[in-house]
A and B are shown apart, each in its own frame.
Chain A
Amino acid sequence: MATMLSPDTQTQSKAGRFGAYGGRYVPETLMAALEELEHAYAEAKADAAFQAELDLLLKDFAGRPTPLYFAKRLTESLGGAKIYLKREDLLHTGAHKINNALGQGLLAKRMGKRRIIAETGAGQHGVATATVCALLGLECIVYMGEEDMRRQELNVLRMRLLGAEVRGVASGSKTLKDAVNEALRDWVTNVRNTYYILGSALGPHPYPTMVRDFNRIIGVEMRQQILGKEGRLPTAILACVGGGSNAIGAFHEFLSDLPGNDKVRLIGVEAGGRGKTLGDHAARFEGGVPGVLQGTYSYVLQDENGQVSLTHSVSAGLDYATVGPEHAALHDCGRAEYVSADDAHVMEAVVKLARTEGILPALESAHAVAECIRIAPNMPSHDILVINLSGRGDKDMGIIARELNIQGAQGH
């Protein structure tokens, strides 16, 4: 229950609390595994050899550092703040998810666990995990909602090519939340030999902290790069928020007490879906109340009886009923702001970025672009916006073509 600690996310308690949020609400069977994971991660974190191995893979295999790109034509077209893109979309496998999958994959190997399970929504975390398992020679099982398998079929094919077993989940809304439930059921059953690579800054402690740490590199690079290019920090950083891993990865360096950090606005963009009614969106900070889902205490979209509600978003990766606990704490203390972008504006953002910059964003990342399009024109030209472009949109071409009525071979 909410052990009321200070809402300062820097002072994280032993039990993995961010202010009142976080903690561990899991079946007892998992507790020994979570404690084992916590200790193994603490050891690995302090081990220079582990860090060096990860750094090398991030560089040579995944393609870090990613560029910070000045989006000149987008900036001119919006006529306000200067816009930069942090190009996580250029990473191997096409999204920031590889940062975390590499980190946890190495950790699993170090712990001697050879059976890997994961959940996936958009399929990017599933692909990243399948990739890392192929790289390290580990068995890989990915749980994915049947609705998500349908709308992100390309990623299903990629995972299978990489040697992973993709297990469809037919319960509930057949999306990310149901895939997490099924992965947790597998873990409870096979806990002794299985490592669960959770794909976002969610779930029971230590996952929210660990997944954030593996994505911190985004903000660390971003801060150095913008200082190098502009000699000053950005006015605001924009990132989409599903579970919250790319956003917390981009934000975290700016939460430290480095000079000027406190002036940088941090803006998380949730999925506004097709309307404000419960069930039509995934904007946890607009329609959710604090509760427990899948091991952590955070904002949860739920009805008045505590039943978790269905969600909707055009993007599978943001279509989720709760949000990482560190974001809940940042929301409550006001350090970060959370807004939402609806499906229609997201589609417009995809087209805008594609046609001004020649960059096709993932539907998830396009939420951050949509918010940028909304606010940039009203900002002075010396202001700087950095969008964390978390992934590329190849996986979404089917949905985008249908929504925008783009013709393929059959068309004229």
Chain B
Amino acid sequence: MAIQFQHHPGLVVYLSAGDTGLTPRESHAGHAGGAVDLSLTREIALAAIDAGADVIEIGVPYSDPLGDGPVIQRASERALLRGTRLVDVLALAAELRAARPQAGLVIFSYLNPILRFGLPAFVDAAAAAGVDGVLLIDMIVEEAGEYLAEMKRVNLAPIFLAAPTSPEERLKAIVEHSQGFVYAISRTGITGQQKDVETGAAALVERLRRWTHWRGLPIAVGFGISNAEHVAQVGKFADAAVIGSAIVELIERSTEEQAPEAVSRFIRGLFTQGLHRQHEVQALEQREPASL
């Protein structure tokens, strides 16, 4: 089990764990204390994987998501109102791993819930759940000594973010410490949708290639990637696209009954309109298959 992109570009799907959208089923509305029912997030994740997502980023809801735009802020707030905790998210990861052994699973979180859980306890639990990697949005390489040591101890892949503003020596360190893939932020900004993929994204990926090339470490581009056209654009210069807010908003607008199928249809739409199965393009592509 490792992070493998089966498509070009590969597809990473972000989900806010525990969010049931604006119209939750009665049994899913506000409840706190005790284990939380994350069955909807599970159904959506399975539908996404079956529709072609290579990696699921399972978002841990947080009270102060300062890197996120309004869509993910609202989803986090709803998930927290339902009482979603890190332990529940880890249990969900274990269920997804059991159901889909080949899928890439990444925990996406802010640092504080992890610190409160205890860093060693968290990496042990994540590894036991069958998680592949961890992405902490407010963790930078300079502060990561203890985190990296713990991740290494249990063989989890740390994934760091690279920004258009990151100077060369930071990009080098970010790549050096990343495994699975490196996450290129498409623009200076927070999460949320945008009209076009900024030209800065291609420039950042090109700068990153200098350091990823010899390892064959894939580069995923995220923030604002919302439709098939964006994904196709990203495919011209990067290995994978991350879709977050667009899917979180789709879930927000759907009823619980509709949400898994709506997400599945959205992802299948990306494929018919632009994404190609890796084996179909391999003959055409010189690039090595992107893998860990």
Contact = CB atoms under 8 A, between A and B. Distances in A.
A181 B114 contact: no
Interface string A393-407: 000000000000000
A67 interface: no
B95 interface: no
A192 interface: yes
A177 B147 contact: no
Q: Which residue, of B64, B166, B190, has the highest number of chain A Cβ atoms within 10 A?
A: B64
Given A23-B143, A27-B138, A192-B188, A308 B63 contact: yes
Interface string B111-154: 11111110100000000000000000111101111110000000
A24 B160 CA distance: 15
Nearest to B143: A23
Contacts of B86: 305-306
A28 B161 contact: yes
Nearest to A34: B140
A68 to B, nearest CB: 39
Q: Which residue, of A27, A188, A290, A295, has the highest number of chain B Cβ atoms within 10 A?
A: A27
A1 B119 contact: yes
Contact of A191 (B85, B161, B165): B165
A306 B143 contact: no
A15 B162 CA distance: 20
Interface in B70-123: 73, 77, 80, 85-86, 110-117, 119
B269 interface: no
Contact of B140 (A28, A188, A189): A28
Size bin of chain A's contact surface:
35 or more
B170 A1 contact: no
B163 interface: yes
Interface in B191-237: none
B63 A307 contact: yes
Contacts of B34: none
Nearest to A291: B112
A304 B142 CA distance: 27
A291 B115 contact: yes
Contacts of A191: 165, 188
Contacts of A181: 64-66
Given A171-B73, A189-B188, A28 B111 contact: no
B243 interface: no
Interface of B: 62-67, 69, 73, 77, 80, 85-86, 110-117, 119, 137-140, 142-147, 160-167, 170, 174, 185, 188-190
Interface of A: 1-3, 15, 23-33, 171-172, 177, 180-181, 184-185, 188-192, 289-295, 300, 302, 304-308
5 contacts: A25-B143, A31-B166, A181-B65, A185-B69, A188-B188
